[in-house]
Amino acid sequence: MSEIKKADVSLIVPNFNNGRYLADFIKSVVNSTVQPVELIIVDDGSADDSLSVLDGFRGVDYLKVIRFEKNRGLTAALNAALDASKGRYVMRADPDDILLPEKIQKQYDFMEANPEVDVLGCNVIYFDSITGRDINNSNFPLSPAMIRKAFLKGEHGIQHPTAFARGEVYRKYRYQKIFPGEDYEIFARMISDGHSFANLAEPLYRMRVHPGSSTSNLKFSHIQTTFKFRDQIFHTKTSKTWMRLYFFHILFYRKFQITNHLLLRYLFLLISILIYPGKFLNRILYKRTY
């Protein structure tokens, strides 16, 4: 049997009541071409079978489980995982998603070859939890300049659970006690402090869309919170009108993602594009950057 290759990477994962998906997630880590030296899963007071599922993976020698007796929230779980991490790199993932086999290897190799980059993401494949159907791929900006531009506009320049960061950078920061918006806030602060971000064009992560996922649940207050952080961090001023337009752009785009009726899907996509045509054009232009 060939020796399992490991990279000096701590994979941090917050879990709350994702027992039904945990086994598939952990198997995707175990089946990676290169495995992390640590898989730190913080169970945030789950009331389902999460802990028994985790017990079934005791044979994974690099799995470390931190258990909260009571639910303390996503950001507390993320901070506890960060505190416990020791790897040269720290990468994020969510327990209801799937790592593609080469994700760790390709992100690790990129970071080793590009010491000027502090945080690296990648594109994702959104898939339907019930049918397993691929919905669509993300198309995040690739270059540091374009990612910075996205954050300055109050948009996400990187998909949070794909982040692969230098440990000494990631551990300098802490997630604020906010949700949602915690991902934009922490990365925007890093951008503001001068840290460099990049994305791999290849989708190396499968993101599950289900009723409990953030992709399926969006409120105007979520958008308000993100733009509030944008204005605080970058000293800008966002109008309520633009917040509402952006909210409806995202709302209809997510309706496109989660609706199975073909005609309705593309109607929702068209409405989303008409509300914010610049975003659609950027999706095309981003393919040509970096």
Is the omega angle on the peptide bond into residue 180 within 30 degrees of 0, that is, cis? Answer: yes
Return the pLDDT at 290.
31
What is 1-98's CATH topology?
Spore Coat Polysaccharide Biosynthesis Protein SpsA; Chain A (3.90.550)
Return the pLDDT at 212.
59
Return the pLDDT at 289.
39
Return the pLDDT at 54.
97
| Domain extents in the chain | 1-98
pLDDT < 70 stretches in the chain: 1-2, 211-217, 280, 282-290
For the chain, percent of residues with pLDDT exceeding 90: 77
Looking up tokens 């610049």 gives: 278
Half-sphere exposure of 275 (CA within 13 A, CB side): 19
pTM of the model: 0.90
Q: What is the pLDDT of residues 108-162, one digit of tens each?
A: 999 999 999 999 999 999 998 888 889 889 999 999 999 999 999 999 999 999 9
Q: What is the mean pLDDT of the chain?
A: 92
